[in-house]
Amino acid sequence: ETNTLPFHPFEMQQGDILRMEKEHQVLKQQLQEAQEKYEQLQSRSLEETGALKELLKKSVEETEVSKNELDWLHQDLEIKVKKWQREKKENQDNLKALRNTAKKHTDTNDRYSKTIDEKEKQYNVYLNTYLETSNKLANDKVKLEELIKKSEDDCQECVKRAVKAEISVLKNWKETEVWKLNGIAANAEANLKMLKSWSCSASAAPKLKSQVDSWEIFVLNVKKRMEKVEAEYEEKVQMVKNGVRNCLTKMETVELSSP
């Protein structure tokens, strides 16, 4: 009800805990965004790596085909060198074209290999960043959980102290009210005893009988009131022990008019 001061030692100024919770939410959102970005990059890298591998495989196959063709041409030239003498220039041109194609495929393979290396480096950078951020957020989460646990323990301790205080107040009120009623009852019983002693006289007995009856009824009412006060305060004490709040209300004092 009076939470207007910083909660030391967890707050240097009012609202620090709420600010820490907001910062934790922001960090959590950043972690989620970083994780989503990392997953997107990983998926894209896997797709690009797969495509590059397919191209590399295709280039290797084409290179093998080119090498086989080149070997076949060499063998064919050795066997049919006289027959193909006239076509030597054409075959040389074909051989040059095949070599250019092989060189082109080799250059393409080198370029793809460099691209794969760069993608792997970029992937490692993103992975390290993600791991650092994740570890930092995990440490912050542990610290916040420890602070929350300690705050909950302190809150429970305050609740226990408040319950003890309420019970003490209710018992004091009960004892005060019972003490007053005991005093009234003691005075009434003294008066009743005096009237009964006077009524022993035969001449005074008829006159005092009504007063004796009134004082006996008054004493009975005082004792009933005392039992009611004790019962109601004990009920309030039990309610406070059971966790009910707003039980700290004083019973209305009833003035008992003596005869």
Domain boundaries, the chain: 156-199+206-242
Q: What values do phi and psi take at 8, rounded to 5?
A: -75, 145
| DSSP type of residue 82 | T
Rounded-to-integer distance, Cα 169 and Cα 102, Å: 99
Query: What's the confidence (pLDDT) of residue 93?
Result: 87
Cβ neighbourhood burial of 147 (10 Å; 0-12, 13-18, 19+): middle
Q: Are 41 and 118 in contact (CB under 8 A)?
A: no
pLDDT-derived band at 244, boundaries 50, 70, 90: confident
Question: How far is residue 39's CA from residue 29's CA, in Å, rounded to a whole number?
Answer: 15
Q: Note the pLDDT tens digit of each residue in 64-114.
A: 888 888 888 888 878 887 777 777 788 888 888 999 999 999 999 999 999
Is the pLDDT higher at 245 or at 42? 42
Provide the percentage of residues in the chain whose pLDDT is more than 90: 36
Length, in residues, of the chain:
259
> How much is the pLDDT for 194?
85
Please report, as a single letter, which amino acid is at residue 177.
Answer: E
Q: In this prediction, what percent of the chain has a pLDDT beyond 70?
A: 90
